[in-house]
Amino acid sequence: MDKEPLILFIEQILPISRATVERIANQFDDNVFAKNEYFVRAGKVSNDYLFLTDGVMRAFTLDTDGREVTTGFYVKNRVVFEVSSFFMRRISDENIQALTDCRGFVLTFDKLNQLFHTMPEFREFGRAMLAREFAAFKQRTLALINQSAEERYADLIRTNREVFQYAQLKHIASYLGITDTSLSRIRREYAKKG
Please check whether residues 47 and 33 belong to one and the same domain.
yes
pLDDT exceeds 70 at position 22: yes
CATH number of the domain that residue 90 is part of: 2.60.120.10
CB 52 within 8 Å of CB 104 = yes
pLDDT at 128: 94
**Domain boundary residue among 106, 130, 146?**
146
The string of pLDDT tens digits covering residues 53-98 is 999 999 999 999 999 999 999 999 999 999 999 999 999 999 999 9
Measure CA 29 to chain center.
Answer: 18
88 plus 178 within the same structural domain? no
Domain end marker among 146, 163, 182: 146
Which range of residues forms the domain containing residue 153? 147-194
pTM listed for this prediction = 0.92
Among residues 183, 180, 172, the alpha carbon closest in space to that of 70 is found at 172
User: pLDDT per residue over 42-63, tens digit each?
Assistant: 999 999 999 999 999 999 999 9
Pairing status of strand 68-74 against strand 57-62: antiparallel
Q: How many domains does the chain have?
A: 2
Q: Do residues 55 and 151 both lie within one domain?
A: no
pLDDT mean over 110-118: 96
172 and 90 within one domain = no
Same domain, 151 and 126: no
Contacts of 83-87 with C-beta under 8 Å, sequence gap 24+, read: 83/133, 85/40, 85/44, 85/45, 85/46, 86/46, 86/47, 86/48, 86/49
Same domain, 135 and 53: yes
Say what percent of the chain tops pLDDT 70. Answer: 99
Residue 194 in this model has a pLDDT that exceeds 70: no
pLDDT at 31: 98
| Claim to verify: residue 121 and residue 137 sit in the same structural domain | yes
